[in-house]
Chain A
Amino acid sequence: MSADTAIHINNNEPSYLEYRGKGTGIKSWIFSTDHKRISILYLVSLLSFFAVGVTLGFLIRLELIAPGKTIVEPQTYNSFFTLHGVIMIFLFVVPGLPAAFGNFFLPIMVGAKDVSFPRLNLLSWWLYIIGGLMAITSIFLPGGPADTGWTFYIPYSVRTGTNVIFTVFAAFVLGFSSILTGLNFITTIHRLRAPGMGWFKMPLFIWSLYSTAWIQILATPIIGITLVLIAIERIFGVGLFDPSLGGDPVLYQHLFWIYSHPAVYIMILPAMGVISEILPTFANRTIFGYKFIAFSSIGIALFGSLVWAHHMFTAGMSDTGQFIFSLLTFLVAIPSAIKVFNWVATLYKGSIDLQPPLYYALGFIFLFCIGGFTGLIQGSLAVNMQIHDTSFVVGHFHYIVFGGTGFGIFAALHYWLPKMTGRMYNLKTAKTAFWIAFIGFNVLYFPMLIMGWLGMPRRYYDYLPEFWPYHLTATIGSWILITGLAIMFVNLIKSVRKGPVVTKQNIWGGHTLEWSVPTPPPLENFEEVPVITEGPYEYKENEEAEPELQEVK
């Protein structure tokens, strides 16, 4: 039986993959306003940028394998870590889950046919691509790529001869794209929920996207204007931040982090949402503490918006300010811990089905815990003075953003990709890839925590011989990690091209709405908009069976 007939048997309407719309070929994709097609556009483009980012990361690690010059000049190295940061943050991690998986599953999970503003949705992808191409083009323009680090700290970013304006403007355009996605999601969640889907019947992924969307709307404009001000400062010499003209560079840091700290929560919250979807499905059990998880998303969004100055404890701030920001930083740990405890409690007494998505979800919890705890260490004032701007920070950040969001995206890929494409990947290979990536990850980033603690500064091109063993280990870890990633992506790409066809609606036994529509979903998602009568994780069969199991014991 060929793939096409299989899909036809399953549903009356054509799947979104078959429906061509007005254009043909590539046009039917890049001008489509269907949220599912836009999601695929995002997925393909952001994974391509991810490949570029990984390559740059690999080169950074290779340069650091031994002290002194190894493969590139210091200037090139500076551009490497700047572009690695800009590409990974603005092009992969921030849009990752909301734009790719949120776009696909948000409307389906709330029982809608599309997002509120489909054309705006397409515009936001175009802005994303324009921003991405600008970031890439800046590499090849005279002056060379920016070498400021992804934080664009003033005064260096005003004085360096490199192409800062172009890179900064790319980030501005990407921010605008992110705002449009957030705006679209909030309106969709408010207006297009299916009849009967009250706020507390929404899947937790939707709750996390909702919190994320609010941060996207409320925080992104600030970085927008701040980055525009850098460009204006460079072009016209206005001097709002340049100390030689009376400006205050620390004020720049405040404005930058007012966005960029909440941005970390833009990155991590949707990943937490994915984990909250995957765990009940594979534990075959209702999520533990639904409302706590939902409200902790809001709590993280709220507290997370008020902690930005903990990036600047050494930059000059009043003692009162330091105490307050340190306290608020510790408070973010509470909603985060609530989530972790609830996830673990969900697994307790579940009938666990160890499939690849659950591997990545459990990997997420482990890595996120290390990332979270190291975050608390930095939040305490005295220790912060010691480890500020060391590779401890780099290690912590990668545990959160790569170990957290990255593994969250991989978990989502393994959970939802078969639903999106109608083809299954090789389960065994996926598990092997997980173990290699997971081990490689820890070999790569754990030494960073140790050498940072011992005083290795971040972003340095050269280092003292005593740090060499750690750098060597980390570089070897990067090779293992990349091997794991390569196996994972080859497996997934192979599945899209010629994996076995999946026609089952409910691939993993989940209870949210996306598992009640055909695989792959038809253009309209639902033939009839469903009426929701119960919560998203009602695993009755298992719960009723539970007393019997206890009797047997």
Chain B
Amino acid sequence: MSIIAHEHAAESHVHRDDVGSRMGMWLFLFTELILFGGMFFLYAVYRFMHQEDFHVAAKELNTIIGTFNTALLLTSSLTMALSITAIQKRNRNLSIFFQVITIILALGFMVNKYFEWTSKIHHGIFPGSEELLAQNSGQILFFGLYYVMTGLHGLHVLIGMVLIAVMTRLTKRGVINADSYVKLEAAGLYWHLVDIIWIFLFPLFYLIT
């Protein structure tokens, strides 16, 4: 009898609360926004202090690669949203298809980023390099922020890719289905956050020159 009681207890310990899960995810996204907020704050202050240097430094970034990457990320957000709609409409294969597309687009973003960074480093612009240290302090700060902020964003893209890959697996196994897709939704929310942070990074580093 006591064994049954124990099993019963263990069973009911797993409760389901989709609204609660979504709320938890949103709260987590707030913390992510504030994490990046600290750096946006640094950017704002240093831009105010070194307007001319930031202006000069921003010209060195490649707007075309930046725009292309923006397009990639925006499209990936669309495919992410489509994959959730697909699972809601009980079309599992379509959902998996869109998730895979999302991962591929994210991969494209990272590849671009890789070439962008390596070409910068090739030109001798990286933290602590002689080339950079010879420039004005505003330019040092601009590239410091550029590497840290896009680097941390890139890390989030990677985490997002792993997360979506896990979701794809869960969708394949049927754990994520038309009746229970809150996990996929949470991953989607995370992915949109990654997207929205880029939407702010792009103009701040590439467009305002």
Contacts and interface: CB of A to CB of B under 8 A. Distances in A.
Which of A226, A246, A248 has most chain B Cβ within 10 Å? A246
A225 B9 contact: no
A18 B187 CA distance: 37
Nearest to A218: B34
A223 to B, nearest CB: 9
Interface string A167-192: 00000000000010011101100111
A236 B17 contact: no
Given A118-B13, A222-B37, A239-B127, A187 B140 contact: no
B208 interface: no
A238 B35 CA distance: 18
Interface stretch (A52-60, A109-117, A202-210): A109-117
Contacts of A14: 2, 5-6
Interface string B57-71: 000000000000000
Contacts, number: 118
Nearest to B142: A246
Given A13-B9, A116-B17, A217 B45 contact: no
Given A116-B24, A240-B148, A246 B15 contact: no
B23 A190 contact: yes
Interface of B: 2, 5-6, 9-10, 12-13, 15, 17, 19-21, 23-24, 27-28, 30-32, 34-39, 41-42, 45-46, 49-50, 127-128, 133, 136-138, 140-141, 144-145, 147-148
A191 B19 CA distance: 8
Contacts of A186: 23, 27
Contacts of A34: 13
A240 B145 contact: yes
Contacts of B127: 236-239
A180 B125 CA distance: 38
Given A183-B24, A236-B128, A247-B141, A229 B35 contact: no
Contacts of B28: 179, 183
B42 A251 contact: yes
A455 interface: no
Contact of B128 (A217, A220, A237): A237
A238 B17 contact: no
B24 A246 contact: no
A225 B35 contact: yes
A485 interface: no
9 contacts: A14-B2, A113-B12, A114-B13, A118-B13, A236-B127, A245-B140, A248-B46, A255-B38, A255-B41
Give the interface size class of chain A.
35 or more
Interface of A: 12-14, 19, 21, 33-34, 113-114, 116-118, 120, 179, 182-184, 186-187, 190-192, 217-218, 220-222, 224-226, 229, 232, 236-240, 245-248, 251, 255, 523-524
6 smallest CB-CB distances across A and B, nearest first, come from A246-B137, A237-B128, A221-B35, A191-B20, A225-B38, A221-B34
A232 B50 CA distance: 22
Given A33-B13, A117-B24, A120-B24, 8 more contacts: A183-B24, A191-B17, A191-B19, A221-B38, A222-B35, A229-B39, A240-B42, A248-B49
Which of B19, B127, B144 has most chain A Cβ within 10 Å? B144
Nearest to A232: B148
A429 to B, nearest CB: 37
B141 to A, nearest CB: 5
Contacts of B133: 245
A224 B45 CA distance: 19
A34 to B, nearest CB: 8
Given A225-B38, A238-B148, A255-B41, A246 B138 contact: yes
Contacts of A116: 17, 20-21, 24
A114 B140 CA distance: 50
B35 A19 contact: no
A222 B137 CA distance: 24
Contacts of B49: 248
A13 to B, nearest CB: 6
A252 to B, nearest CB: 10
A172 to B, nearest CB: 11
Nearest to B41: A255
Nearest to A251: B45
B138 A229 contact: no
Contacts of A117: 21, 24
A218 B31 CA distance: 6
A181 to B, nearest CB: 12
Contacts of A222: 34-35, 37-38
A353 to B, nearest CB: 36
A229 B35 CA distance: 11
Contact of A217 (B5, B15, B27, B136): B27
Contacts of A113: 12-13, 15
A220 B31 CA distance: 8
A357 B147 CA distance: 53
Contacts of A246: 50, 136-138, 140-141
Nearest to B31: A221
A187 B27 contact: yes
A187 B34 contact: no
A184 B20 CA distance: 10
A5 B28 CA distance: 45
Contacts of B12: 113, 524
A113 to B, nearest CB: 7
Given A113-B13, A118-B13, A217 B31 contact: yes
Nearest to B13: A114
Nearest to A225: B38
B126 to A, nearest CB: 8
A239 B141 contact: yes
A221 B29 CA distance: 11
A117 B27 CA distance: 13
Nearest to A216: B31
Contact of B38 (A13, A226, A237): A226
Contacts of B141: 239-240, 245-247
A418 to B, nearest CB: 24
Given A225-B38, A523-B9, A238 B147 contact: yes
Contacts of A217: 27, 30-31
Contacts of B37: 221-222
A118 B17 CA distance: 12
Contacts of A245: 133, 137, 140-141, 144
A232 B17 CA distance: 39
Nearest to B2: A14
A187 B15 CA distance: 14
A183 B45 CA distance: 30
A18 to B, nearest CB: 10
A524 B7 CA distance: 12
Nearest to A116: B20
B1 to A, nearest CB: 10
